[in-house]
């Protein structure tokens, strides 16, 4: 734009609207930050419902339902059944492996088992911050059989535990109702926009929705496949806690390059298990690295191009930056809304500020 066009574009009216908009945004950020503990179940439920929306549509085709209630209930039950099945099948094995790691640490710290000098710092750090016995006790409390056997004794637990359970239950209820009324909720958000700006705003929203659909659902499918590959690979090479580590890698796969953060706990597990004398650290950690290499090659060069195409929407560096900024501002809620809000801001900037003539 020329200098005269720029001056005409940035008039007093536009500048005041920008200032008012920024002030409203700041107030909303402060309000969400103040209420984030209360709003967290709702925002988490919105994100989960958004991810599960294709599954609801699939269930509607199978049930031939005109509404959404039955298919939404089926979707929630299917997801809960899968999660409960995973816990039921793998929790005993995980607890058994935690017992083995805890026994190794106990024998080393008590002097029953000789420990090389290079392992002293690792064992001390694990004993201070990541005790397998503490993890085991938490997982045991989550075991379905243990919860059922306790019966009414659950009421005698601390208030914080009860509130945590209610928080998870509230999230499930939120997910169910959001799935049932998903089209109405989406339509309601569109009606919030003033009629004067609705047409232009919906163009930006549609761009963001396409980008988010492309990223979240595509990357979610790739992350699910990655979790399966890592669980199988870690199990084959004999890594303790193979299933939890594989699932953790799959979850972190939603954030570009964050899956490599799991190399640290994998290295610690390998170091502890190598103290048993059954296998060396280099051998076990080398096999685990081979799992990373093979799984990443399959995901990056076979699955990602076919599922998501060559473009992932936002640049990986911008994704990490937006997650860092919004996460520091609003905690977990900020990380949930980081990508949609950042995409909305970028789409608005490119269409109406960077190149306003193109939007006319």
**pLDDT tens figures, 15-69:** 777 788 788 878 887 887 777 777 778 878 888 888 888 888 888 888 888 888 8
Q: What is the pLDDT, as a whole number, of residue 221?
A: 84
**CA–CA separation, 283 vs 286, rounded Å?**
5
Q: What is the pLDDT of residue 333?
A: 67
Angle between helices 281-298 and 218-237 (to 10 degrees): 150
Asked if residues 325 and 338 have their Cβ atoms less than 8 Å apart, the reply is yes
pLDDT band at 304 (very low <50, low <70, confident <90, very high): confident
Distances (CA, A) of 309 to 203, 216, 218, 301: 23, 13, 9, 11
Of residues 213 and 226, more confidence is placed in: 226
pLDDT-derived band at 155 (thresholds 50, 70, 90) equals very low
The 3-state DSSP class for residue 302 equals: helix
Q: For residue 121, name the pLDDT band (cuts at 50, 70, 90).
A: low
Q: Phi and psi dihedrals of 191, rounded to 5?
A: -75, -20
Res. 146: pLDDT tops 60? no
CB 122, CB 275: distance < 8 Å: no
Which residue intervals of 35-181 are DSSP H helices? 36-63, 69-109, 120-129, 132-142, 144-150, 159-180
pLDDT at 148: 43
Residue 132, class by beta-carbon neighbours within 10 Å (0-12 exposed, 13-18 middle, 19+ buried)?
Answer: buried
Instruction: Indicate whether 331 pLDDT > 50.
Output: yes
63/154: higher pLDDT: 63
* Cβ atoms of residues 318 and 178 within 8 Å: no
In this prediction, residue 194 carries a pLDDT of 72
What's the mean pLDDT in 231-241? 91
Query: For position 151, what pLDDT does the model report?
Result: 45
Distance from C-alpha of 222 to C-alpha of 228, rounded to nearest angstrom: 10
Q: What is the pLDDT of residue 111?
A: 67
pLDDT bin (cut points 50, 70, 90) of residue 227 is: very high
CA distance 171 to 149: 25
Q: Mean of the pLDDT values across residues 106-127?
A: 66
Residue 296 to residue 337: CA distance in whole angstroms: 27
262 vs 165, more confident: 262
Q: What is the pLDDT of residue 114?
A: 67
For residues 6 and 73, which has the higher predicted lDDT (pLDDT)? 73
The answer to whether 180 and 72 are in contact (CB under 8 A) is yes
Per-residue tokens: 229: 């590959």
Is residue 246 classed as helix, strand or coil in its secondary structure? Answer: helix
How much is the mean pLDDT over the chain? 76
pTM, 2 dp: 0.67
- DSSP label at 155? G
- Which has more pLDDT, 292 or 256? 292
């Amino acid at each position: 734009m020329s200098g005269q066009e720029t001056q005409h574009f940035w008039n007093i009216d536009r500048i005041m609207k920008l200032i008012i908009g920024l002030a409203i945004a700041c107030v909303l950020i402060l309000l969400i930050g103040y209420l984030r503990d209360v709003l967290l179940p709702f925002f988490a439920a919105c994100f989960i419902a958004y991810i599960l929306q294709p599954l609801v549509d699939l269930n509607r085709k199978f049930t031939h339902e005109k509404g959404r209630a039955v298919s939404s209930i089926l979707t929630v039950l299917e997801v809960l059944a899968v999660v409960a099945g995973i816990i039921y099948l793998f929790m005993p094995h995980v607890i058994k492996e935690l017992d083995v790691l805890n026994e190794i640490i106990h024998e080393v710290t008590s002097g029953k088992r000789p420990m090389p000098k290079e392992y002293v710092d690792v064992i001390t750090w694990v004993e201070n911050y990541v005790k397998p016995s503490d993890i085991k006790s938490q997982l045991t409390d989550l075991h379905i059989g243990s919860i059922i056997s306790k019966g009414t004794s659950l009421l005698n637990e601390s208030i914080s535990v009860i509130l945590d359970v209610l928080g998870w239950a509230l999230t499930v209820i939120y997910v169910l109702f959001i799935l049932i009324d998903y089209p109405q909720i989406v339509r309601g958000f569109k009606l919030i926009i003033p009629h004067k700006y609705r047409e232009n705003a919906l163009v930006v929203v549609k761009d963001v929705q396409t980008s988010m659909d492309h990223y979240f659902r595509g990357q979610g499918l790739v992350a699910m496949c990655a979790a399966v590959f890592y669980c199988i690979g870690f199990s084959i090479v004999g890594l303790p806690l193979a299933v939890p580590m594989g699932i953790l890698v799959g979850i972190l796969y939603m954030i570009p390059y964050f899956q490599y953060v799991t190399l640290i706990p994998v290295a610690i597990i390998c170091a502890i298990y190598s103290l048993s004398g059954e296998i060396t650290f280099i051998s076990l950690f080398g096999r685990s690295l081979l799992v990373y290499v093979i799984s990443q090659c399959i995901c990056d060069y076979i699955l990602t191009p076919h599922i998501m195409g060559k473009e992932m929407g936002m640049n990986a560096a911008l994704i990490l930056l937006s997650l860092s900024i919004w996460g520091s501002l609003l905690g977990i809620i900020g990380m949930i809304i980081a990508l949609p809000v950042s995409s909305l801001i970028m789409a608005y900037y490119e269409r109406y500020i960077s190149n306003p003539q193109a939007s006319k």
